Chain A
Amino acid sequence: MAADRTTSAVAPETTRAAISSDARRARRSRRYRLTGSYTVLTVSAIVVVLPLYITVVNSLLKEDQIAHQPPPLFPFHPQWHNYSIAWTQGNLGFYIRNSLIMTVCIVIAQLVTSILAGYAFAFLRFPFRRTLFLVCLATLMIPFEVTFITNLTTVTSAGLFNTYAGLAVPFLATGFGIFLLRQAFLQIPKDLQEAALLDGYGHWRFMARVAVPLARPSVAALGVFAFLAAWNQYLWPLVATGGTTPLDTVQIGLKQLYGTQADQINVALAGAIIAFVPLLILLLIFQKQLVRSLTAGAVK
């Protein structure tokens, strides 16, 4: 009996000790995991941000400082006039205007076509629906370069060579946009559509009043993706405008700036930063929607 009592008196302490050592181990392993994740994240952030940082720094240096070894990591006497030189000598205002016109046309058209097709694939029943959707998906696997020549001959034969329409027309609808919005529309419960049907809303009104507002994060994300892709195009605008005409876009403008100011890399880099500003503004505005659409369906 005495022995029993001793055992039972000791037992809770042993248990307590075991629990606290378990808790310590769990805490320690959580700390390691956190340290690990933050290390990976920090390294990745540096890898991503460093080139951008160096571009900004170099765009603010004098020409002779760039050639200096090792190159300075901070612009102690920032040369802001590099930016005004790039803007005036590179005629960037003109190129940015061209790019904006082309990009806005492409973004609006892609949103319209993707909303309509995505809605149809999600909500309408029609023959060959699956097959047509697979065809749309299959276009994702064909690189633009493959259809480049065909597009060029089509645009030329349609009399659109060297026009804004010619710049935009191959990008007015994309398999990616249709896929993205179809998936977003599929998330909308069928009950909502039926409720709207009974409330007197046909497909067009349901799409405008319910489906598109509910798919807003994906629509916004598609707008941003389309903008990025259109803005950063180089090859198609170069070829579709002949490369030397008043319709050149900002990326071609940058190339020309670099060509004419070969000894002034700092100015060319300042031009690149200027060309990046519209994208930066867009990303800042739509940051939330982008993250939400990229992670949608990730946790469910």
Chain B
Amino acid sequence: MAQVIFDGVTKRYGDVVAVDDLSLSIVDGELLVLLGPSGCGKTTALRIVAGLEELSAGTISIGDAVVNDIDPKDRDVAMVFQSYALYPHLTVARNIDFPLRQRGIERDERARMVNEVATMLGLDPYLERKPAQLSGGQRQRVALARAIVRSPQVFLMDEPLSNLDAALRVQTRADIVSLQDRLGTTTLYVTHDQVEAMTMGDRIAVLNHGVLQQVAPPQELYALPANVFVAGFLGSPGMNLVPGRLDRSAGGATVAVSGGTVEVHTRVHLPADPDAAVTVGVRPEGLFVDPHGAVGATVTIVEMLGAEAHVICTLADGTRLVVRQESTVPRPAIGEAIKIRIDPDAVTLFDTAGGKRLEERE
């Protein structure tokens, strides 16, 4: 087990910068999720740790050693691929045994290790089957077993759940978390699925266009997004972002948005400019359909999700808002003009020009 440190890591493909000056440390034993949309550089960052991509600049360390020039096989990392990358001509037992054969371990000892891992992952009944005879979930577990059997310093997982169906994904992600917890192996986990990231990560690092946006524990990331990208990307649906203009005429602070005004707390560092452009961010659960609300909107869609409903409406300027409601609350009709109340405690303000969150005052 070991910590992994990215220090100023950059990867360029010609003119395209896939990873841009990434500095990030993954603590020993931690499960850190690299999260971002497709093409954000998260898989490239993972492959850099594995040694499958060379760095354009910066250093990468595993444990206490800089591994820039160390071969993948000597880095003592194990990777679980999105495609599982199982050897189709070998049985499950031989697949799990594959990394051990190279290490000069006695045959009996290898068999014992394979059986132990197979039992841990419930693969005993399938040891003599070929990968083609397994279901997606079983293949996924074989891929995990092959990674675990070596007891590497670091696990690298590249979207390992994306080929599973929804129900199995929920089950497997819980299995991976408890397995990682039990083994205590430092794990770097790549996904584009923010629910996966929120439920699995000790911390989440959000990447966009190769640039690190924020690293924080899931709850902090959700409550205090560093910028509008993180705010919009995390949460399902993401944070509502409404363009507005600061208004201090009434002594306190309000933000004028299309369709009404939003009251905000003045405990954040407001811009010096009294009518600065700001972006009001508010999670769907901070909005309420209320006849006494301050912002007018028109309902466009109502999505029923069982326990809750999403009321999707538009403001006069076309900005889309999502309001989360308990399913027991009466739902407005499509096309209805409604008023929306915004909980001032739920409002996060962003500087429109830079997209950064306005910090709270000490």
Expressed in whole angstroms, the Cα–Cα distance for A195 and B50 within the complex equals: 10
- Chain A residue nearest to B98 (CB atoms) is A199
Main secondary structure of the interface of B (DSSP, over half): loop
Inter-chain contact A194/B98, CB cutoff 8 Å:
no
Report the minimal beta-carbon distance from B89 to chain A, rounded to whole angstroms: 5
Interface check B126, CB cutoff 8 A: no
B226 an interface residue at 8 Å Cβ cutoff? Answer: no
Is A198's CB under 8 angstroms from B87's CB?
no
CB-defined contacts of A12 to chain B, threshold 8 Å: none
A191 CB contact (under 8 Å) in B51, B85, B99, B150 = B85
Q: A143 near B: Cβ within 8 Å?
A: no
In the bound complex, CA of A210 to CA of B85 (Å): 12
Q: How many residues of chain A have a CB within 8 Å of chain B?
A: 17
Give the chain A neighbours of B103 by CB distance below 8 A: 200
Known interface pairs A210-B87, A214-B88, A214-B89; A199-B81 also in contact (CB < 8 Å): no
Contacts of B88 in A (CB 8 A): 214
Using C-beta atoms within 8 Å of the partner chain, give the interface range for chain B: 20 to 34
Q: Mark B64-93, 1 if CB is under 8 A from A, else 0.
A: 000000001100011101110101110000
**Interface: A213 (CB within 8 A):** yes
Contact with A along B232-266 (1 / 0, CB 8 A): 00000000000000000000000000000000000
Contacting pair A198 B83 (CB below 8 A): no
Indicate whether A198 sits within 8 Å of B102 (C-beta atoms), given known contacts A189-B85, A213-B89, A214-B88: no
Residue of B nearest to A212 (CB): B89
Q: Is B195 an interface residue (CB 8 A)?
A: no
**Which chain B residues in 313-328 approach chain A with CB under 8 Å?**
none
Judge whether A198 and B89 touch: CB under 8 Å. no
> A199 near B89 (CB under 8 angstroms)?
no
Partner of B73, one of A200, A210, A213, A216: A200
A198 with B77: CB separation less than 8 A: yes
Q: Does A197 contact B (CB under 8 A)?
A: yes
Instruction: State how many angstroms separate the Cβ of B140 from the closest Cβ of chain A.
Output: 14
Chain B residues with CB under 8 A of A216:
89
CA distance A210 to B72 in the complex (A): 18
- Of listed A198, A200, A201, residue having the most chain B CB within 10 A: A198
A199-B98, A200-B102 given as contacts; is B81 within 8 A of A194 (CB)? Answer: yes
User: Per-residue CB proximity of A157-194 to B under 8 Å, as 1/0?
Assistant: 00000000000000000000000000000000101101
Cβ B72 vs Cβ A192 within 8 A: no
For the complex, give the distance between the alpha carbons of A191 and B143 in Å.
12
B99 with A197: CB separation less than 8 A: no
Closest to A191 in B: B85
- Whether B52 sits at the interface, judged by CB under 8 Å, is yes
How far apart are B248's CB and chain A's nearest CB, in angstroms? 58
Quick one: which of B143-170 are within 8 Å of A by CB? 146, 150
Minimum CB distance partner of A201 in chain B: B102
Interface contact B83-A189, CB-CB below 8 Å:
yes
Q: How many whole Å from A36's CB to the nearest CB in chain B?
A: 36
- Contacting pair A194 B89 (CB below 8 A): no
Of A192, A195, A200, chain B has the most CB atoms within 10 Å of the CB of A195
Task: Name 4 extra pairs, CB < 8 A, besides A200-B102, A210-B87.
Answer: A191-B83, A198-B73, A201-B73, A213-B89
Measured CB to CB, the residues of A under 8 A from B are 189, 191-192, 194-202, 205, 210, 213-214, 216
Closest 8 CB pairs of A and B: A200-B102, A191-B85, A199-B99, A195-B85, A200-B73, A213-B89, A191-B81, A191-B83
